[in-house]
Amino acid sequence: MEFQYHDIAGMIDHSLLKPTLTTEELEAGCQLALTYEVASVCIMPFYLKRCAELLKGSTVKASTTIGFPHGGHTTYVKQIEAELAIADGCEELDMVVNISRVLSGEWKYVADEIAAVTKIAHQAGPKIKVIFENCYLDQVQKIELCRICGELGVDWVKTSTGYGTGGATIEDLKLMRAESPPEVQVKAAGGVRTFDKLLEVRALGVSRVGASATREILDHCRERLELPAITCE
């Protein structure tokens, strides 16, 4: 095989963003992430502090969303969200761009907002992923966002929230990888539900995927590698 188990597990941001998520499901989701040793848990902001407590001392990072899911928060609110998230133990921020401003071609506004939140994240230590929500954008807009994010030194560009009209596509992932500097990583979100699909996007240069089907993906990975099955309640 061209990969080890931890290469694959380390690509997964375990998504716990359903609005119907209960406290019990939060606890179980974090335990699953710890057991399978994924990259991070991406949780709604109000659960973040508890999530960070549960993951403390492990290699699994606590992450949360900024301006989720439509990106329509004011820049000031996104900045406050970032500051509060970092205070609650967040290690990675997933920020949605202002989609309306992108569609309006107001690139200075878009760039200033990404810069403001990126500055807060990087000054405190956490990394930042910028979500484009590609299903609403044309190719020119996606390329311009890649250019802006590259110039601002964000850590990842990300395809989607999972709550738009479409998720990650192979075409978009190829474009984002090609149009972003090598140091900017690419995250696929929405639609990566199987191990084989994860391998497909990995081959394109994707380094992270947002997934709720984490158990299924990694059980299949371990089966393919002939590793013992993991037991997790």
Give pLDDT tens digits for 41-70. Answer: 999 999 999 999 999 999 999 999 999 999
d(CA 135, CA 122): 28
Instruction: Kindly state the tokens that stand for 139.
Output: 């190719």
Distance, C-alpha 97 to centroid of its chain: 13
- Residue 1 reports pLDDT greater than 80: no
Backbone angles phi, psi at 22, to 5 degrees: -100, 170
In 10 A of CB 189, how many CB atoms? Answer: 27
145 DSSP 8-state letter: H
Cβ-Cβ contacts under 8 Å for 121 (sequence gap 6 or more): 82, 86, 93, 127, 128
* Catalytic positions: 94, 158, 187
- Residue 233 reports pLDDT greater than 80: no
**Domains of the chain, start order:** 5-225 (3.20.20.70)
Q: What are the pLDDT digits (tens) for 115-165?
A: 999 999 999 999 999 999 999 999 999 999 999 999 999 999 999 999 999
Q: What is the pTM of this model?
A: 0.96
